[in-house]
Amino acid sequence: MSWRLLSIGLLSVLSLLSTANATPIPDPPKIDAKAYLLLDINSGRVLAEENADQRIEPASLTKIMTAYAVFHELQAGHVALGDEVLVSEKAWKTPGSRMFIEVGHRVKVEDLLQGLIIQSGNDAGVALAEHIAGSESAFAELMNARAADLGMQDTHFDNATGLPDPEHYTTARDIAKAAAAVIKEFPEYYKWYSTKQFTYGGITQKNRNKLLWRDSSVDGVKTGHTSTAGYCLVASAKRDGMRLLSVVIGAKSDNARAAASQSLLNYGFRFYESHKLYDAGQTVRRVRVWKGDRKHLPLGPAEDVYITVPRGRYNAMKAKVLINNRILAPVRKGSTVGYVRLSLDGDDIARIPLVALAGIKDGGIVHRLTDTVLMWFNF
């Protein structure tokens, strides 16, 4: 496939208005943990990582996927927040952290979700799993299907709670994908992750995420701990429109995981900046189409496009648009026909696909013959 290169001025095309001075980027902070990762959720850029693809025991970080799977069932209308769940003996007896539901009692899905998210209730996780899929093992398969959809290639869930099992594992990178999906896809439910305490059955328990008390920009996500997994924390914060996600796995204490997460978040916000370049469906360029019922085709991104760069380097970016050298009808709406290539200091930092924002059918025979002649002189 041949491409036509169109150089474009970044200031005029992308409306980049930053005038901040460039800031040198130091190495990420030293984190005493088995693995960690720092991610800009909007752009998808990883700002720091260590052992991010190493298989780890997720402990209660599992419940990020448990909740994500339940959210999808709510979205599909298969369950409702007001549905009452009959608590089984298995759910009631599940060891570990709990919201203290009673066997034989009925509990609303909404209460179970808050018990799962805020109190990290293992009993809530099992009750939800059994209500939705009939059994916890069947629900784990549903979790695995959702994980596959998110590209979590190094993950396998065996239960809905995070209790240790040899076939229950993930990675820092994979669990970041699950947390990012919760934040982006279900903002109406994500609000629960910033709730500092929850009362059920007369028992009030605090959210174990200490950063909710220490940093007002932090609004989630989930803690986890077992003797073998160590202390884990997935934390997300939003400052000036920039949202970062940190994953810390296997810290030595509750305070250590909170301090490590805070260090990563502060590093990302201090030394990087994030900007929205395009809205989904925004026309970036119109191009000539040959032999179609229309001459010009609007091109743009299929999704919102964000970019993350070192602070103060926004205006230093360069952009080039590359378009298929000869676009012939018919053109299917949504098909990729080019891309924008962004570079900084000579290194490519992003490649943004440009898709057809409209469909173009074959033109009439006269138009096709005319374009055939014109193409001899234009190529």
Catalytic (active-site) positions: 60, 63, 120
What's the CA gap between 98 and 308, in Å, rounded? 39
What's the CA gap between 134 and 128, in Å, rounded? 9
What's the CA gap between 327 and 35, in Å, rounded? 47
Half-sphere exposure of 6 (CA within 13 A, CB side): 15
List phi, psi (to 5°) of 61: -60, -20
Q: Which two tokens stand for residue 372?
A: 């055939």
Half-sphere exposure of 300 (CA within 13 A, CB side): 17
Q: Is 323 helix (H, G, I), strand (E, B) or coil?
A: strand
What's the CA gap between 9 and 42, in Å, rounded? 24
Largest CA distance in the chain: 82
